[in-house]
Amino acid sequence: MTAMAPEPETEPPRGGVGSVSGGADTVLTDPRAPTHTGEGPQINAVLPTEELRDYLGDVLSRNTGRDHVPGRVTAEHLRRVRCCFVPPPGYAEALSVLSASRLLFLSGRPGSGRRGSALRALQEVGPPSPSVRELPDGDEQPYLHAQRVAAEESLLLDVSAHGGDALLGEVQNELAAYRDEVNARFGHLVVVLAPEQERLLRDDLRFSLRRIHPPDKREVLRRHLSHLDVPFPDGELDGEQVRSWLHSAGTGETAELADLVRRAEREGAGEGSFRAWLDEAQHALADWDREVAEQVERFTTSRQRAVLFSAAMLHGLPVERVFTAAEGLLHRVSAPDDECPVLERRGFSAQLHELGARVDGERRVSFADLDYDAAVRNRFWDDFPDLRDSFGNWVSEFLRKHRLPDDERSCLVTRLAELYLRSRQVDSLFTVVERWARQDTAGRGARGGARQALELLRLMLEDERSAWETRRRLREWAADRDLSPALAEVLLVVCERVLVRTHPEQAIVRMHHLARNGTERVSGEAARALVELARGSPERRRMLFARLAERLTAERAGKPEGVRNSDVALVWRVGSPEVVAADGRLPRPKEHDLVVAATTSAMAADTEGARHHTERWLDACARDQRLDAQLSALAAAARGAGCAATVYTTARRWVLAGGDRAERSTRRRSALQLVGWLNGRGPAARTRDEGHRREAREESVT
């Protein structure tokens, strides 16, 4: 950009085409090139966050089949519901209520399939191939945001879980306005209740309440097996053993049985009979607690128990890793030294065999029965609560000392997370996250600890037992301007890749906090990530503009020192033509107003930035006339910020920066659109002859 002498700024004239004239000293290079509008030097380099993004992408691709993620119902789960759903008694009446009133309160006992029924009902009354968004929208009041309801949206609010009574009481006060918006936008809403919660419903909502009862569970099992491509003879499902088991099982347990049958079939490479697979699956669902308790009591030495717990924690991993882990556990719990000389001790394979574990042909350790390893892990965790921190530290130390493949590392992280969540020790997991994020490990790229922290947060966000507390802690961490860069990088990636899929607005809020971080590397990377989110989705762009408009407007009104430079720079980047028009569509009215509000505050705080922003948009409009309409937002912001004269003067200079007559003519057309909006008249209109006369007059001036 060429330096120029300051020119007195003039108000935009009230005249016509001939008013766009004057000297031009400012030239903006191709706005499609990488730009940097913040403070400090621009650095184009691969940061550690890129490696974490790649890693998390691999993790997410391995977990695409997860049935349920809080905040979003996955497409895979919806497909399974559609294929496996068996209408329960009472469903037809419930479907009729939803179709007629667009609101349904669906009640049912645990195991009746109330959640699956709610999803299937939304599929049946909604648009073809609907997606289902879960409510509430946030973790605090208001829980329901009517302005976020999209056209023909399918919405699910499940308050049947433990602790849902308080949420049900709160949302009923918000439902009236929310229901009106759902109706106006031709959407549908199902609220899932437990029967004991029916009494909490207000009288004016009871007309939409219906209760279902358990469906035919033999048919549920048959459909799930068919969906999973498990071969089975129909007669096998009529046996007394199966019918007795199904009598007391819920629909969720029946689906789990089908999953375990498929797992038994695959682990046996298809060999064996359906009856054998079914027996193995039923044993896996049996309560192993008594058998495991007896085993733990039978093997009483520290070494036996360390080997047993290590085999369970590292189930499926090579025997050498299990041996090393067992030795580490003995040291961690300060077990007494074995006085027997090493060569006189029993071999490790024999120790495993004695404990019921086996070593397969690939030298991997496992237990013969499905899910027996999980029962062993749970027994140790439950029986030795005073050793839980020691167990956690043992796993952390093992991961730190050993270079593990990603799948093995992920396996250990998942199992440790499950144990802590089993005992509802979410705060302990936050401590683990902080420790892992900061440590330097032997993992690839010396990022093993960060990878573990990233995956642990992903698991916590996707588990209903910890999701709410994890989102809250992410917000607290992100708002800490002194947060360590290592932890900040982990937070940024988990918000950008995980939280944004289920709670996009909350992800943007947390990423915006990180963009204000006191470390330039963190703030710069967070700002870049926000720009990319906005570029890829009009809805997320709208959310980001809403956040920026809210913060900038509040700070502009309430802080004598003005707004944050980082927020102003972010407005220029997100509001650039390359981002706003990235998908070929200009902002809709709701977003248009937010763009104006954010840009107004930015222009008021940064006059030089306002000039550059004006030039970028004029350049873009000169290349593509379809962008002209967005000049109305630029003009409205300039008027609101009191810098219409700055924008007008910039447009004058920009016109005459054109290299020849043809280019200046093109530029003048775009500038006239802007001047028209600045004058409050809308885009300027002119005839071809009038345009020629103005061109001739300008040529005489130059």
pLDDT in tens, 209-252: 999 999 999 999 999 999 999 988 878 888 888 888 888 889 99
**Residue 480 has which token pair?**
């800490």
Please tell me the distance from the alpha carbon of residue 350 to that of residue 131, in angstroms, as a whole number.
Answer: 53
Task: Spell 13-27 as b/e; 16+ CB within 10 A means b.
Answer: eeeebebbbbebebe
CB 598 within 8 A of CB 545: yes
What's the sign of the alpha-carbon dihedral 392, 393, 395, 400? positive
The residue ranking higher by pLDDT, 654 or 15, is 654
Q: Phi/psi of residue 326, each to 5°?
A: -65, -40
CB 515 within 8 A of CB 551: no
pLDDT (0 to 100) of residue 62: 55
Token look-up 């024999």 returns 350
Please tell me the distance from the alpha carbon of residue 124 to that of residue 110, in angstroms, as a whole number.
Answer: 23
Please tell me the distance from the alpha carbon of residue 443 to that of residue 542, in angstroms, as a whole number.
Answer: 39
Q: How far is the first Cα of the chain from the last one, in angstroms, to the nearest whole number?
A: 22
Please tell me the distance from the alpha carbon of residue 187 to that of residue 2, in angstroms, as a whole number.
Answer: 54
308 exposure class (CB count in 10 Å sphere: 0-12, 13-18, 19+): buried
**Residue 653 has which token pair?**
């200079």
Of 100-109, 324-333, 335-344, the poorest mean pLDDT is in 335-344
Mean pLDDT, range 148-164, rounded to an integer: 85
> Residue 387: is its pLDDT beyond 70?
yes
pLDDT (0 to 100) of residue 72: 67
> Residue 484: is its pLDDT beyond 60?
yes
CB 522 within 8 A of CB 492: yes
Mean pLDDT, range 653-663, rounded to an integer: 89
**Strand bridging mode 103-107 / 132-135:** unpaired
Transcribe 389-445 into DSSP letters: HHHHHHHHHHHHHS---HHHHHHHHHHHHHHHHHTT-HHHHHHHHHHHHH---SSGG
Q: Phi/psi of residue 34, each to 5°?
A: -55, 130
Q: Which amino acid is at 49?
A: T
**Torsion, Cα of 261, 266, 272, 273 (10° steps):** 30
> Residue 24: is its pLDDT beyond 60?
no
Residue 191's SS3 state is strand
pLDDT (0 to 100) of residue 75: 82
CA distances to 43, 192, 505, 507, 526 from 138, in Å: 36, 18, 9, 11, 22
CB 137 within 8 A of CB 145: yes
Confidence of residue 55 (pLDDT cuts 50, 70, 90): low
> Residue 202: is its pLDDT beyond 80?
yes
Task: Spell 93-108 as b/e; 16+ CB within 10 A means b.
Answer: ebbebbeeebbbbbbb
Domains in the chain, please, with CATH?
Answer: 87-211 (3.40.50), 217-285 (no CATH)
Phi-psi region of 672 (alpha: psi -120 to 50; beta: other; left: phi over 0): alpha
**DSSP label of 480:** -
Phi-psi region of 337 (alpha: psi -120 to 50; beta: other; left: phi over 0): beta
Of 69-78, 82-91, 446-455, 523-532, the poorest mean pLDDT is in 69-78
Above pLDDT 90, what percent of the chain? 57
Confidence of residue 588 (pLDDT cuts 50, 70, 90): confident
Percent helix, strand and coil across the chain, each to the nearest 5: 65, 5, 30
Distance of CA 26 to the CA centre of its chain: 42
**Torsion, Cα of 618, 619, 620, 624 (10° steps):** 100
- Average pLDDT, whole number, for the chain? 84
CB 265 within 8 A of CB 284: no
pLDDT (0 to 100) of residue 65: 45
pLDDT (0 to 100) of residue 353: 94
Mean pLDDT, range 512-528, rounded to an integer: 94
> Residue 444: is its pLDDT beyond 70?
no
Please tell me the distance from the alpha carbon of residue 403 to that of residue 399, in angstroms, as a whole number.
Answer: 7
Residue 53's SS3 state is helix
- Cα angle value 27/30/34 (rounded, 5°): 120
For 356-370, what is each residue's pLDDT tens digit? 999 999 999 999 888
Please tell me the distance from the alpha carbon of residue 675 to that of residue 632, in angstroms, as a whole number.
Answer: 10
Element (H, E) at 121: helix 114-125
Please tell me the distance from the alpha carbon of residue 179 to that of residue 188, in angstroms, as a whole number.
Answer: 9
* 237 Cβ neighbours under 8 A, 6+ residues apart: 218, 221, 222
CB 632 within 8 A of CB 677: yes
- CB-facing half-sphere around the CA of 426: CA atoms within 13 A: 17
**Residue 478 has which token pair?**
């992100």
- CB-facing half-sphere around the CA of 472: CA atoms within 13 A: 8
Token look-up 């906090």 returns 513
> Residue 154: is its pLDDT beyond 80?
yes
CB 356 within 8 A of CB 368: yes
For 554-580, what is each residue's pLDDT tens digit? 887 766 455 688 999 999 999 999 999
pLDDT (0 to 100) of residue 46: 37
For 279-338, what is each residue's pLDDT tens digit? 888 887 776 778 898 999 999 999 999 999 999 999 999 999 999 999 999 999 987 777
Q: Phi/psi of residue 176, each to 5°?
A: -60, -55
Starting at the earlier edge strand, list the strands of the sheet with 154-158.
Answer: 132-135, 154-158, 188-193, 103-107, 209-211
pLDDT (0 to 100) of residue 13: 46
**Residue 330 has which token pair?**
């003995």
CB 649 within 8 A of CB 9: yes
CA distances to 40, 58, 226, 533 from 48, in Å: 20, 16, 45, 19
pLDDT (0 to 100) of residue 31: 36
CB 143 within 8 A of CB 134: no
For 26-46, what is each residue's pLDDT tens digit? 333 333 333 444 433 443 333
Q: Which amino acid is at 362?
A: E
Residue 318's SS3 state is strand
**Residue 254 has which token pair?**
């029946």
Residue 332's SS3 state is helix
Token look-up 């549908």 returns 188
**Strand bridging mode 209-211 / 132-135:** unpaired
* 447 Cβ neighbours under 8 A, 6+ residues apart: 48, 51, 52, 55, 441
For 494-511, what is each residue's pLDDT tens digit? 999 999 988 888 999 999
